[in-house]
Amino acid sequence: MKKPPLDTWNEVKLHTCVLPLLLVLNSRGSNNSSPKHYYLSRPRSLVCLLTTVLLLFALGSACAQTSGKAAILEVVGLNAAPVAADKLLALCKQYQVPTSSVYRWQNHLVVYGPAASIQRLQQPLTAAYPGATVKHYAAPFYKFDRQWCTDKTVSQQWDNLLLTANLVRDPAKQQEYLRYHATQFELWPEVAAGFCKASFQQLLVFRNERQLMLVISVPKGASLDELNPKTTENNPRVDEWNALMKQYQEGIPGTKPGDVWVFLKPVAAPVKTIIK
């Protein structure tokens, strides 16, 4: 069997964690010998079993906490008509990117995943959608995670919410926006404190030319409508930050007047067994 890449996304990590246990259970159910006789009469097998259990425990811990470099690919159709997702979903299965990581908004298709897998996906994705624009968001320029919190506990399961907007056309304003984010943790620590209070697990901001992609990761099953108000609760500096950022952002083509950030919706149903 072909070995999956080390950076394969969560579904494969979960499969790797569970596989040793399945092998043990299958061997115990073999018709060739009774399970009790098999393990008592073969000390080497008992050692292998104990080793497998220890390995399973170690892998389970790693799978629950692993978080690597992420990236995004976006397919933008030639006109306002929605872009068919079937080719992208098929490529995701081929390149071991979970289909639950595919999102859409109008004529935009987006896939979010580990950077190495996304990079491998770029060329075949471009070939699969001739005439469409394929944009690569190689790395986030801003990253919040629980390391900035007093309580550094990380939820084992996440829901990833994707939003997109544009920076304004003024290059000077764009650079100001980037500088604010580069110094936010030092000069505006209350913003990260608000994210911590809201139980945000991770927040990434990507950029390709003027377009921004925002990924907010929350505990699985949590409602952003319920969590987001906690970012500003007894924290007026977050309100100041949000008001300040408005001058740098605008909606992408197709948004309604006055709208800035739009939510991308998952194309496929989420996989409940994904572990972060």
The tally of domains found in the chain comes to 3
Give the span between the Cα atoms of 168 and 246, in whole angstroms.
10
**What pLDDT was estimated at residue 56?**
35
Do 242 and 169 belong to one domain? yes
Q: What is the pLDDT of residues 117-139, one digit of tens each?
A: 999 999 999 999 999 999 999 99
Do 40 and 116 belong to one domain? no
In b/e form, how buried is each residue of 9-38, taking b as 16+ CB within 10 angstroms? bbbbbbebbbebeeeeeebeeeeeeeeeeb
Do 158 and 190 belong to one domain? yes
Would residue 43 count as lying in a domain? yes
Of the ranges 24-28, 214-218, 239-243, which one carries the lowest mean pLDDT score?
24-28
For residue 49, what is the DSSP state? Answer: H
Mean pLDDT for the stretch of residues 109-116: 97
Would residue 276 count as lying in a domain? no
Would residue 234 count as lying in a domain? yes
Kindly report the backbone phi and psi dihedral angles of residue 215, in degrees, each rounded to the nearest multiple of 5, phi listed first.
-120, 115
Do 58 and 81 belong to one domain? no
Domain that holds residue 59: 10-65
**HSE value, Cβ hemisphere, 13 Å, CA-based, for 101:** 28
Whether the Cβ atoms of residue 80 and residue 118 lie closer than 8 Å to each other: no
Would residue 3 count as lying in a domain? no
- Asked which of 109, 139, 169 is the last residue of a domain, the reply is 139
pTM summary value: 0.74
Do 218 and 106 belong to one domain? no
Q: What is the pLDDT of residues 150-191, one digit of tens each?
A: 999 999 999 999 999 999 999 999 999 999 999 999 999 999
**What pLDDT was estimated at residue 67?**
56
Task: Return the closest-CA partner of residue 121 out of 141, 100, 96.
Answer: 96
Give the span between the Cα atoms of 178 and 141, in whole angstroms.
8
* Average pLDDT in the chain: 81
C-alpha torsion 234→153→159→143, nearest 10: 70
Do 58 and 78 belong to one domain? no
Do 202 and 186 belong to one domain? yes
User: Count of CB atoms within 10 A of residue 140's CB?
Assistant: 21
- Asked which of 116, 139, 162 is the last residue of a domain, the reply is 139
